[in-house]
Amino acid sequence: MSQRAVKGVPTHIPKGSTTVKIFFYFSIFYLLASMILGLIVSLKSVNPEFLTGNRFLQEYFTYGRLRPTHTNTALVGWLTTVNFGVLFYGVPALCKTGLWSEKLGLITAILWNVNYIGGAVSLLAGYQTGVEYAELPLLFDIGVVICVVLTFWNLFQTTRYRKERVLYVSMWYWLGSLLNLAIVYIVGNIPVEWIGSGSTQMGYYYFYLHNIVGLWFTVVGVGTIYYLLPKMVQRPIYSHKLSLIGFWMIIAFYSWNGPHHLVNGPIPLWLMKAGIIPSLLLLIPVWSVLANVIGTMKGVWFKVSQQIGLKFLITGALFYGLACIQGPFQALMGPHAILHFTYWTVGHAHMPLFGGFSMVAFSAIYYILPRITYRHIYSQTLMNLHYWLSVLGFLIFGFAMWTAGIIQGFEWMDGKQLGSGFLQVMESLHIFLISRAVGGSLMFLGQIAFAWNIYRSAKAGQVVTADDPILVSR
């Protein structure tokens, strides 16, 4: 936003704001793209003949190309990009200083988006590794790592030259999450041919599959909750010590969780136990977060009905907690034998990523954007519509997949995993696939409302004056 001559309108642009806006605006583009791709995948599950009318569609709109592009656009495109925007705003704000290098921030933002768009096109064109969540070709993996390193260096230097000497807990989570991301991404994207085959390879890659969620999205998301919650309710976090206990518990236990995806599989029993036990211990950091949220909100729960951004944040924290109760439960050998390889895992995967940390990201955008554009959010009605469509859509989606997964698992245990029995099971699940498409459609409509609201906010939102309370709480 250029400087204004309008009386009462602030003219100082916080250093790094342009970088934040680039990450935010591109992340919303990726969000819509991932939702469209996911909706097409869900419709193809209902009707496999959908979008197969000509040779082009038959080649480029196959499940094998659409799903990896959907998952990578959701994880790398939407969630990682928006989290970078949050970090480029939040770290300087907590350090009470400007971003160390705005030029480096802009270079990082441009490189990141050019690299990912190229990677997404390559996935649609059929160039992929075949490793779930790590399908991007090596060239684009290198680009991701370079951007992560540039981001960490910029924010580390900002922290090094900070004016605020005390490191608030969100700084621990945010800077730690970037280190986690670099390590997990490098380890998880080493080319397949460099690693052994079979169960050895799968054990290796499930370190990445689980920890890109646990050591990146969880850590940066919890740090964002701890940043936004005190700001929104105007009171300090309930327990700083409890939040640090949660941080170190995540670092200590989460990296061991990968093998719980291979329970009852062709891996040693000790390795299964090495995945199950830390999964159960993860209840400690989860409850530390929920206890802190509940403690901070004590006596001010009425504010949830007054602030839609806070409603997004509390809902995201709740879904995060529920996802981390589901995780240890399905890591146990008994439930895992029923639920693994079923539709249950589809619903579970969406719980932390959409129900949890996407909700937190929505709250962050609604909070931060007025403070860097000096324009209020255009429409509270659209914010509310965004919230309810997202939540109701996800609940329909999630319960359809969880129910289908339970039915699927028990039917398979009864011997209906082959032949005509398998076909009977799939036919019985058709109604749940339709429900998934309905839920996904509502979620998509919610994101259209969100994108339109942000666009109108940037163009026609009410101008923030110099004495506006939001500038005090930056």
pLDDT, residue 268, reads: 82
Q: What is the pLDDT of residue 472?
A: 61
Residue-level pLDDT at 117: 97
Q: Using CA of residue 26, residue 29, residue 31, residue 34, what is the dihedral sign?
A: negative
Q: How far apart are CA 454 and CA 134, in angstroms?
A: 31
pLDDT: which is higher, 208 or 76: 76
pLDDT at position 473: 59
Global pTM? Answer: 0.93
Distance separating alpha carbons of residues 208 and 214, to the nearest angstrom? 10
Residue 369 has a pLDDT of 95
pLDDT of residue 204: 77
Mean pLDDT of 274-279: 86
- Token look-up 């964002």 returns 224
* Cα–Cα distance, 404 to 345 (Å, whole number): 10
Q: With the C-alpha atoms ordered 459, 460, 465, 471, is the resulting torsion angle positive or negative?
A: negative
Phi and psi at residue 187, to the nearest 5° = -65, -45
Using a 10 angstrom Cβ sphere, with 0-12 exposed, 13-18 middle and 19 or more buried, the burial of residue 197 is: exposed
Confidence of residue 15 (pLDDT cuts 50, 70, 90): low
**pLDDT recorded at residue 251:** 86
If one compares 362 and 419, the residue with the highest pLDDT of the two is 362
- Cβ atoms 19, 109 nearer than 8 A: yes
Of the candidates 320, 323, 198, the residue with the CA atom closest to the CA atom of residue 262: 198
Q: What is the DSSP string of 235-275?
A: S--S-HHHHHHHHHHHHHHGGG-GGGGGTTSSS-HHHHHHH
Length of the chain: 474
Q: Which domains does the chain have, with CATH numbers?
A: 17-472 (1.20.210.10)
What confidence tens digit (pLDDT) does each residue in 406-434 have? 999 999 988 888 888 888 998 999 999 99
- In angstroms, the Cα distances linking 342 to 10, 95, 267 are 54, 46, 20
Number of other residues whose CB lies within 10 A of the CB of residue 120 = 23
Q: Using CA of residue 122, residue 124, residue 129, residue 134, what is the dihedral sign?
A: positive
105-109, 276-280, 302-306: least confidently modelled range: 276-280
Residue 403 confidence class, pLDDT cut points 50, 70, 90:
very high
Q: Give 474's pLDDT tier (boundaries 50, 70, 90).
A: low
Task: Name residues whose C-beta falls within 8 Å of residue 371's C-beta, 6 or more positions apart in sequence.
Answer: 14, 89, 470, 471, 474
pLDDT tens column, 215-239: 999 999 999 999 999 999 999 999 9
Calculate mean pLDDT across residues 32-56.
91
What are the pLDDT digits (tens) for 16-28?
689 999 999 999 9
pLDDT for residue 29 is more than 80: yes
